[in-house]
Amino acid sequence: MKRMAIVGNHALSYGALLSRVQVIAAYPITPQTQVVELLSEMCADGTLKAEFVKVESEHSAMAAVMGASASGARAFTATSSQGLALMHEVLHWVTGARLPVVMGNINRAFGPPWSIWTEQTDSLSQRDTGWMQIYAQDNQEVLDSVILAYKVSEQVLLPTMVVLDAFFLSHTSEPVEIPDQEMVDEFLPPYENKYILNPDDPHAFGGLTNPEWYMELRYKIHKAHEEALQLIEKEGREFEKLFGRYYGLVDPYRVDDADTILVAVSTAASTARYAVDLLRERGKKVGLLRIRVFRPFPYERVKEILSGAKKVIVLDRNLSPGAGGIIASEVRGALANVKNHPPVFSYIMGLGGRDITTKNIMELFEEVEKMEEGKDIIWKGVKI
């Protein structure tokens, strides 16, 4: 094991390297370019024994990793925002074909107007594609999550997206432990799938399926997500045994006796952790629930943790125009069947990469302290 200061993008590349990916297909987009630049170098100098298909678009990138995975190769790609949106059709296809592809997505706001800064709307708007989604809060978690993603994906035959914030992680250097290859090999065996394109055992995959059977195939995809809920925690514990770091579905912080719990994802959650500490020093009973895995959505864990609180705040750095915060809508959904559930205060903030400061987050708690009834949408920091 060695320790290195690396940017989040390179944490993705190292995650792919250590996972011994065999086929990479990717197309450059800011702020993802460093991921593929480093992987190109690794392939060129033989550090990574993989085929790198330098495709002409993200649509083709996703199709190529799909073809590779269907042929029995471990496949990786990375993209962001416009590129992810361009992949949309194929994202659904990869899930339907039950292929354990893993990709990195650097959160970046959609145009127009052009923006290259972070916002979660790109990945969250792929919510219903059936991809598992992991939101990392630091570069160590980015690297580790790639390895964990393959481990879980290849067991349940579902794809996974490892998501990180533009610039706050993608371009920020942090000390990261690079695990030893032998230990990763011990944790992550080679990709084996008996349902592959094999001339010695020919099958047609994805042919026309009438209403008599289609629904059963979707049911199985959902069941695989449910299975993944268990597996993510189980493999998280296995990973911890080897590497000393645990990653679960959610990451609760000082929630046990908390009256008010803030729900957040990604780097906004790291900032919120600090805000919680400061407020605790002032005697406020506040806590944080970081959602790490957004799909499969950890309903049970979220209910368990939030139902004891008096108030729930959700911080959404994303927007479903006409509805509001995407994570808030999941949280409200999770609480709907809980008797006497706490009111939910849904905040939209930090869109297009606008800073979310410790002070901002402390303000949320202070504002909510004065409110009794939950609010479907509260805009924070809008200048008009």
Note whether 71 binds other proteins by CB under 8 A.
yes
Among 30, 40, 72, 341, binds other proteins (CB under 8 A): 72
Q: Which helix (H) or strand (E) holds 106?
A: strand 102-107
Q: How far is the CB of 87 from other proteins (least distance, A)?
A: 11
Segment near other proteins (CB under 8 A); pick from 65-73, 219-227, 325-333, 334-342: 65-73
- Outline where 72-132 has alpha helix (H): 81-86, 88-96, 121-124
Segment near other proteins (CB under 8 A); pick from 43-51, 140-148, 287-295, 343-351: 43-51
Nearer to other proteins, 50 or 229 (CB): 50
Q: Are 228 and 296 in contact (CB under 8 A)?
A: yes
Note whether 180 binds other proteins by CB under 8 A.
no
* Rg value, the chain, Cα: 21
Among 11, 73, 152, 262, binds other proteins (CB under 8 A): 73
Note whether 47 binds other proteins by CB under 8 A.
no
Nearer to other proteins, 73 or 356 (CB): 73
| Residue 21 in tokens | 């990916």
CA pair distance 298, 293, nearest whole angstrom: 7
Nearer to other proteins, 204 or 382 (CB): 204
| Residue 340 in tokens | 């006497």
Nearer to other proteins, 25 or 124 (CB): 25
Q: How far is the CB of 27 from other proteins (least distance, A)?
A: 10
Beta bridge pairs of residue 295: 133
Segment near other proteins (CB under 8 A); pick from 195-203, 285-293, 301-309, 329-337: 195-203
Among 53, 289, 306, 331, binds other proteins (CB under 8 A): 53
Q: How far is the CB of 172 from other proteins (least distance, A)?
A: 32
DSSP strands (E only) in 34-96 = 51-53, 75-80
Closest CA relative to residue 314, chosen from 295, 335, 300, 296: 335
String of contacts with other proteins for each residue 86-125, x by CB under 8 A = ---xx--x---x----------------------------
Q: How far is CA 374 from CA 250, 293, 333, 369, 371, in A?
A: 23, 25, 14, 11, 8
Note whether 257 binds other proteins by CB under 8 A.
no
Q: Let me know if 127 is exposed, middle or buried by CB neighbors in 10 A (0-12, 13-18, 19+).
A: middle
Q: Is the peptide bond before 199 cis (omega within 30 degrees of 0)?
A: no
Segment near other proteins (CB under 8 A); pick from 34-42, 44-52, 164-172, 269-277: 44-52
Q: How far is the CB of 66 from other proteins (least distance, A)?
A: 6
CA pair distance 188, 23, nearest whole angstrom: 17
Q: How far is the CB of 207 from other proteins (least distance, A)?
A: 5
- In which region does residue 369 sit, left (phi positive, over 0), alpha (psi from -120 to 50) or beta (all else)? alpha
Q: How far is the CB of 32 from other proteins (least distance, A)?
A: 19
Note whether 194 binds other proteins by CB under 8 A.
no
Q: Are 298 and 327 in contact (CB under 8 A)?
A: no
Among 1, 113, 192, 204, binds other proteins (CB under 8 A): 204
Note whether 44 binds other proteins by CB under 8 A.
no
Q: Which helix (H) or strand (E) holds 262?
A: strand 260-264
Closest CA relative to residue 130, chosen from 151, 99, 106: 99
Note whether 65 binds other proteins by CB under 8 A.
yes
Among 46, 112, 113, 202, binds other proteins (CB under 8 A): 202
Segment near other proteins (CB under 8 A); pick from 29-37, 64-72, 238-246, 328-336: 64-72
- Strands 286-291 vs 260-264: parallel, antiparallel or unpaired: parallel
Q: Residue written as tokens 């368990």?
A: 304
Q: Are 292 and 248 in contact (CB under 8 A)?
A: yes
Q: How far is the CB of 111 from other proteins (least distance, A)?
A: 21
* Footprint on this chain of other proteins (rule: CB under 8 A): 22-23, 25, 49-51, 53-57, 59-61, 63-73, 75, 89-90, 93, 97, 197-199, 201-210, 213
